[in-house]
Amino acid sequence: MKIKKFKARTFREALCLVKKEMGDDAVILGTDERRGITPSVEVTAAVDYDIGGRPEECDAGPLQPHGGAEWQGREPVSAAQPPVSPAPDMKELKEEIEGIKNLMNDMRLTSMGRSLPDEKKKVYQHLRKCAIRRDFAMGLSAAAPGLGDITDAVAREIKTRDENAMLKAVAVVGPTGVGKTTTIAKLAARSVKKGKKAALINLDTYRVGASEQLRIYSRIIGVPLDTVSSRDELRRSLSKYASRDAIFIDTPGRNPKDRGSLEDLRSLDDLGFPLETHLLLSANCDDEFLWTAYRHYGACRIDCLGFTKVDEAVRFGSIYNIATKYKKPVAYITTGQKVPQDIRFSTSSGLAALILGEGLQS
């Protein structure tokens, strides 16, 4: 076993040094925080294989006192009059702590994955290649004895939504550029193709051209369209189309970090009308963005998920990750711009096959 000490300004920097030099198998033995004019953190780590060379201290850059180069030539500050440092920003501190926790958890899970029996290790490694999170991959590895059992294990964990079980009105929400308007058109056209009477309502009065785009689709599909800008207008439109079989509502896209944009969407929750909300996400985005989007829109009621741009994505583990984390069924996926062809309502086994890189199946 090799033991080594790493010194840096913060715990996170020290842990990054540990991971960089010793790898994911490293185990943290102890930490020591040194305060004062030149604060630093020292982390003692160990690994059970030879990392080469004599252990030496690893500094994350020179640990200079406050003032950097200007310190040279000055009289030392007495212990009774230390320089006053600004109070740390609580948000940054929380992010720092969260980053440390995630880094240590990643190291722990990677080490556990490497210690699995050979067959389960193959399962774990395949799941990681598919971009499934380490903690989820560990759980699935425990449930799947071998590679031939992965699809069933994933299918048991991911739920789908029966197309025929959708409520009369469907509101599609999601970030800007995810493809809500085109998806709304696909849903409406699919409904009409099945012999149902549908209607469209547009709440997106912010984006230039959004109303015109949906109006063009409504003419092609042959369904009526209302554009509304208030809660009362929305309620009147829903009442007007109450005799229709299906109503699809397009909503404005927003930056998931803009918390002030939720007020319009919260009004969908208590209209006194049979309505469900679909959160639309892009399959080619990473987990961090998707989770940020879910936390933003999760302030409203989310009934199920939809994923667009499946044809543009390389790996599909993010679909499993977010659907499993938030325990929401996946209603449909879209695979291109064609209306209504490029939308699929998959089964759990079909989605599992897609997530595991086996291609798109029913």
Check whether 37 has a pLDDT greater than 70.
no
Model pLDDT, residue 42: 84
Check whether 279 has a pLDDT greater than 80.
yes
Q: Cα separations (Å) of 10 from 97, 99, 123, 135, 313? A: 10, 11, 36, 26, 36
Question: With pLDDT > 70 as the criterion, what percentage of the chain qualifies?
Answer: 73
Give the span between the Cα atoms of 4 and 289, in whole angstroms: 36
Token representation of residue 324 = 């499993």
Per the structure, the count of domains in the chain is: 3
| Amino acid at the residue 207 | R
In a domain, 85, yes or no: no
Give the span between the Cα atoms of 294 and 286, in whole angstroms: 13
Check whether 259 has a pLDDT greater than 90.
no
Check whether 119 has a pLDDT greater than 50.
yes
In a domain, 360, yes or no: no
- Mean pLDDT of all residues in 286-310: 90
Give the number of other CB atoms < 10 A from CB of residue 314.
Answer: 8
Flag the least confident range among 10-14, 221-225, 229-233, 267-271. Answer: 267-271
Check whether 105 has a pLDDT greater than 80.
no
Q: Which domain holds residue 145?
A: 118-157
Model pLDDT, residue 68: 40
Residues 129 and 224 in one domain: no
Model pLDDT, residue 207: 64
Residues 148 and 205 in one domain: no
In a domain, 76, yes or no: no
Question: With pLDDT > 90 as the criterion, what percentage of the chain qualifies?
Answer: 42
Give the span between the Cα atoms of 82 and 105, in whole angstroms: 36
Q: How confident is the model at residue 256 (pLDDT cuts 50, 70, 90)?
A: low
pLDDT tens string 143-174: 887 888 899 999 999 999 999 999 999 999 99
Residues 127 and 170 in one domain: no
pLDDT tens string 55-84: 444 444 444 344 444 334 444 444 454 444
Residues 216 and 141 in one domain: no
Check whether 194 has a pLDDT greater than 90.
yes
Helices and strands, number each (H, E), in the chain: 12, 12
Half-sphere exposure of 113 (CA within 13 A, CB side): 24
In a domain, 88, yes or no: no
Model pLDDT, residue 97: 67
Model pLDDT, residue 79: 42
In the listed set 110, 142, 172, which residue is the last one of a domain according to the structure? 110
Q: Which residues contact 249 (CB under 8 A, 6 or more apart)?
A: 169, 170, 171, 172, 184, 200, 201, 202, 203, 234, 268, 275
Burial category of 285 from C-beta neighbours within 10 Å (exposed 0-12, middle 13-18, buried 19 and up): buried
Residues 186 and 244 in one domain: yes
Residues 337 and 206 in one domain: yes
Give the span between the Cα atoms of 286 and 138, in whole angstroms: 20
Check whether 294 has a pLDDT greater than 80.
yes
In a domain, 62, yes or no: yes
Buried-exposed string 61-81: b where 16+ CB fall within 10 A, e elsewhere = eeeeeeeeeeeeeeeeeeeee
In a domain, 83, yes or no: no
Q: What CATH number is attached to the domain comprising 285?
A: 3.40.50.300
Query: Which pTM value belongs to this model?
Result: 0.68
Give the number of other CB atoms < 10 A from CB of residue 3.
Answer: 11
Average pLDDT in the chain: 80
Check whether 54 has a pLDDT greater than 60.
no
- Mean pLDDT of all residues in 247-268: 71
Query: Who has greater pLDDT, 293 or 270?
Result: 293
Positive/negative CA dihedral, 233, 237, 242, 247: negative
Model pLDDT, residue 118: 76
Model pLDDT, residue 197: 96
Residues 27 and 53 in one domain: yes
In a domain, 80, yes or no: no
Model pLDDT, residue 184: 95
Q: Which residues contact 13 (CB under 8 A, 6 or more apart)?
A: 41, 60
In a domain, 21, yes or no: yes
Residues 199 and 52 in one domain: no
Check whether 88 has a pLDDT greater than 60.
no
Check whether 91 has a pLDDT greater than 80.
no
Q: How confident is the model at residue 224 (pLDDT cuts 50, 70, 90)?
A: very high
Check whether 109 has a pLDDT greater than 60.
no
Residues 129 and 196 in one domain: no
Q: How confident is the model at residue 309 (pLDDT cuts 50, 70, 90)?
A: very high
Model pLDDT, residue 38: 74
Q: How confident is the model at residue 329 (pLDDT cuts 50, 70, 90)?
A: very high
The neighbouring-strand residues paired with 303 are none
Token representation of residue 331 = 């209603």
Residues 144 and 175 in one domain: no
Residues 130 and 189 in one domain: no
Residues 312 and 188 in one domain: yes
